[in-house]
Amino acid sequence: MKNRLLAATLLALVPMALAPIALAPITGAKPRSSVDLGALVAELKRSRDEAEPKLLAELGALRTREAALALVELYDTTFGSIYMRREAVKALGSFDGVADAEQAALQKLSDVATAGEEPELRDMALATLGNCNHLGKHFLKAIVESAAEDDVRARAMERVVRMADGGDHEFFQRVFDAPIADKAADKDQDKDRGKGKGKKDKDAQPERKVHSVKSIRELAFEQLAQGLDLPRLYAQAREKERDNVTELWGLRRLALLEIERRKDKGLRDLAETIYGDQTERDSVRVEAIRILVEADGAKIAATLLEDGRGNVDVMPELLRQALGDHLAALRDEATDKKLVKQVGKGKLHEQRFVLRALRGYRDEKLLKALAKEVLDATKKPPPKGNDPEYNATRDLVLATLATLGGSLSKVIEPELETVVGACKDQAIVAGALDALTELRKGDLVWTKRLIGLAASPQVEVRNAALLQLGRTGDRAHAKVLAAAVSSSDWSTRFAALDGLVALRARDGIGAIVEQMQKESGLMLVRFADALWRLCGKPFRTSAPARKAWWDKEGAGFEPISLAEVARLEAEEEMRRLKQTTKSARFFGIRIVSKRVIFILDVSGSMSETLRSEYTGKQGTPRIDVAKSELAACIDALEPESLFNIVVFSSDVDTWLDGVAQSSGGDRAQAKQFVAALGAGGGTNLYDSLRTAFADPDVDTIFVLSDGEPSVGEVTDPELIRARVAEWNAHRRIVIHTIGVGGTFQVLEWLAADSGGSHRKFQ
Q: How confident is the model at residue 32 (pLDDT cuts 50, 70, 90)?
A: very low
Least confident of 69-78, 170-179, 206-215, 648-657: 206-215
**Which carries the bigger pLDDT value, residue 36 or residue 744?**
36
Q: How confident is the model at residue 109 (pLDDT cuts 50, 70, 90)?
A: very high
Q: How confident is the model at residue 3 (pLDDT cuts 50, 70, 90)?
A: very low
**Does 202 score more than 60 pLDDT?**
no
Tell me, what's the pLDDT at 18?
A: 40
Of 139, 207, 215, give the one whose Cα is nearest residue 176: 215
SS3 of 117-172: the string is: CCHHHHHHHHHHHHCCCCCHHHHHHHHHCCCCCHHHHHHHHHHHHHHCCHHHHHHH
**Which carries the bigger pLDDT value, residue 222 or residue 10?**
222
Tell me, what's the pLDDT at 614?
A: 57
Q: How confident is the model at residue 34 (pLDDT cuts 50, 70, 90)?
A: low
Average pLDDT over residues 529-534: 84
Tell me, what's the pLDDT at 578?
A: 54
**Does 503 score more than 70 pLDDT?**
yes
pLDDT digits (tens, 9 = 90+) for 236-275: 999 988 776 678 899 999 999 999 999 999 999 999 999 9
Tell me, what's the pLDDT at 407?
A: 80
2-178, CATH topology level: Leucine-rich Repeat Variant (1.25.10)
Q: Which helix (H) or strand (E) is 334 found in, with range? A: helix 333-342
Average pLDDT over residues 554-583: 68
Q: How confident is the model at residue 664 (pLDDT cuts 50, 70, 90)?
A: low
CA distance 358 to 135: 56
Tell me, what's the pLDDT at 572?
A: 57
Tell me, what's the pLDDT at 66?
A: 94
**Does 197 score more than 60 pLDDT?**
no
CA distance 634 to 679: 21
pTM: 0.78
Q: Indicate the domain borders of the chain.
A: 2-178, 247-361, 585-761
Q: How many helices (H) and strands (E) does the chain have?
A: 36, 9
Tell me, what's the pLDDT at 288?
A: 96
pLDDT digits (tens, 9 = 90+) for 308-327: 998 877 789 999 999 999 99
CA distance 278 to 719: 19
pLDDT digits (tens, 9 = 90+) for 443-465: 888 889 899 999 988 888 889 88
pLDDT digits (tens, 9 = 90+) for 386-406: 899 989 888 999 889 888 888
**DSSP sequence for 177-241:** HHHHHHHHHHHHHHHHHHTT-S---TTSPPPBPPPP-HHHHHHHHHHHHTTS-HHHHHHHHHPPP
Average pLDDT over residues 138-164: 93
**Does 140 score more than 50 pLDDT?**
yes
User: Could you tell me what percent of the chain has a pLDDT over 90?
Assistant: 44
DSSP state of 614: B
Tell me, what's the pLDDT at 666?
A: 81
Q: How far is CA 484 from CA 113, 355, 504, 594, in A?
A: 45, 36, 16, 21
**Does 355 score more than 50 pLDDT?**
yes
Average pLDDT over residues 670-687: 91
Mean confidence (pLDDT) of the chain: 84
Domain 585-761 bears CATH identifier 3.40.50.410: yes
**Does 27 score more than 50 pLDDT?**
no
Least confident of 22-36, 212-226, 389-403: 22-36
Tell me, what's the pLDDT at 663?
A: 64
**Does 13 score more than 70 pLDDT?**
no
Q: How many CA atoms lie within 13 A of 76 on its CB side?
A: 11
CA distance 278 to 285: 9
**Does 292 score more than 60 pLDDT?**
yes
Tell me, what's the pLDDT at 429?
A: 86
**Does 2 score more than 80 pLDDT?**
no
Of 307, 308, 310, give the one whose Cα is nearest residue 357: 308
pLDDT digits (tens, 9 = 90+) for 222-247: 999 999 999 999 999 999 887 766 78
pLDDT digits (tens, 9 = 90+) for 83-99: 889 999 999 999 999 99
Amino acid, res. 716: D
Which residues touch 322 (CB under 8 Å, ≥6 apart)?
286, 289, 290
CA distance 308 to 558: 54
